[in-house]
Amino acid sequence: MTTTRDSATARPHPDRSTSGSGLPQDARRNGYHSTALFGPNTPRVLQFLVNLRNLSPAQIKLVTGTWNQASPLDRALAWAHLATAAKPEHPVMAAASAARRAAMQTARAAGQDDWAFWAAAWDAAAAVAAGDLADGDYQTLTHPLGTVMPALNGHASTTGGRRPAGQVALGR
């Protein structure tokens, strides 16, 4: 039986192909549908999770401070809009849950155990996974992490794949 602690280092089944560095392309080639993870925005969510794990303690503090300054009412409205607009093929809660877990591990390793960081990651991952969320709601949910991940600023449906120079892509 695999425990939670062991699952991070669990080996793939020897009879199954696993995807490599080009996750979405390799997954499709090996017969796995990358949309099964987080919907059509899986590449963006996966890149977000990687970027989340690379944040420094100072960046975590900045995100936490920004999240604490945000309006709880605006967040609640954005989540209400997300919940009513979410499509079944966009598993936003799975993305949010994965981000929360990654944020908890990152914060713990950095000695920054503040639940506001976990909440900011939860919000941002859900917005990224949702894809076609209204821009105002997307900004409300991604802004705290957007202060340290500029690629979150803007919206997938409005950037058309373009981003200002110097910003990291979120895997389009």
pLDDT digits (tens, 9 = 90+) for 102-117: 999 999 999 998 999 9
Q: Can you tell me the distance from the alpha carbon of 34 to that of 23, in angstroms, rounded to the nearest whole number?
A: 8
Over its C-alpha atoms, the chain yields an Rg (Å, rounded) of: 16
31 falls in which pLDDT band (50, 70, 90)?
A: low
Q: Is 47 domain-assigned?
A: yes
pLDDT digits (tens, 9 = 90+) for 39-75: 888 899 999 999 999 999 999 999 999 999 999 999 9
pLDDT: is 10 or 27 the higher one?
Answer: 27
Tell me if 165 is assigned to some domain: no
Taking Cα atoms as reference points, which of 52, 45, 134 lies closest to residue 93?
Answer: 45
- Count of domains observed in the chain: 1
Asked whether residue 87 is domain-assigned, the answer is yes
pTM of the full predicted structure? Answer: 0.70
Residue 155: the pLDDT is: 60
Place of tokens 């080639």: 29
Does 46 map to a domain?
yes
How far is Cα 162 from Cα 155, in angstroms, rounded to an integer? 10
Q: Is 20 a domain residue?
A: no
C-alpha 62: how far from chain center: 18
Residue range of the domain that includes 66 = 40-159
Sign of torsion over alpha carbons 105, 107, 113, 118:
negative
Residue type, 119: A
- The answer to whether residue 71 is domain-embedded is yes
